[in-house]
Amino acid sequence: MRVVRPPREMQALSEELRGSGKRIALVPTMGYLHEGHLSLMREGRSRADVSVASVFVNPTQFGPKEDLSAYPRDFDRDCRMMEDAAVDFVFHPTAEDMYPSGFQTYVTVEQVTKHLCGISRPHHFRGVATVVAKLFHIVKPHIALFGNKDYQQVVVVRRMVRDLDMDVEVVGCPIVREPDGLAMSSRNTYLDAEERKQALSLRRSLDEARTLFLSGERSSRAITARVREILSAGGPSVRIDYVSLCDAETLEGVDRIEDRSVLAIAAYVGRTRLIDNELFSVRSQEGRL
């Protein structure tokens, strides 16, 4: 496994790989890896000749009161894990590499960022779209893999790729969970023991939503009300940011599940903001996309 830091070096290497007919898979990460990240890397390895992972804590997607300075980092640990996942190249630039002095160009995806996390984090997806666009130009992947836990992020990146005619396939992969059902996240390390127990209310609320759906319930009001009820009873550390049932592609809110929908939730558990989601499809007999 080779670590590459300067963007120009990574770009030249990618051009050489493409020129030799190699298919490149990219998994963008902010490091402090867990099994969810590794599952993406293994999937990328199965779909391409060369596996590339980026490790970059992107400052432009953090708000002024968010956890950029506290975000967990352990690059040596990450490298050991990526070696086990058969990653070929790790792109690990500095903030100065990615945003040099005088940087002033950003990518804005207009509509799908106005919902869900975009409401409470209004500048977040501009930072996400910008850094992903840069990664695509630098690494030049044929395929890029993202986890569906960050469902809105996947939608934003797909919209950007479609609108800007980027030559990359964007793949959203299933959520990887802890044995107790909590969606894996680097931010789970912030939770103390009691908060960790209360965080399970997110998974319980989504399980109840699926039970309602499979029993025939289609009303957004009924489903989201029950989800809010379970989250509110999750414990004193749980504070709801949003609960939204929306169209799976546009992220516009829906009154009823008519076709493909996503139930997305965000909640603070203590000071830690967690997100999760459940996907529904009326046309699929088992209710899964």
Give catalytic residues, as residue numbers. Answer: 37
- Which structure tokens are listed for 286? 């088992």
Classify residue 163 as exposed, middle or buried by CB count within 10 Å of its CB (0-12, 13-18, 19+).
exposed
- Which structure tokens are listed for 247? 């169209």
Q: H helices of 146-267, where?
A: 151-163, 193-214, 220-232
Nearest to 248 by CA among 122, 163, 161, 159: 159
Q: Is there a contact between 133 and 156 (Cβ–Cβ < 8 Å)?
A: no
Question: For residue 259, what are the contacts with CB-CB under 8 A and spacing of at least 6?
Answer: 247, 281, 282, 283
Token pair 């990887």: residue: 176
Buried b (16+ CB within 10 A) or exposed e, 260-276: ebbbbbbbebbebbbbb
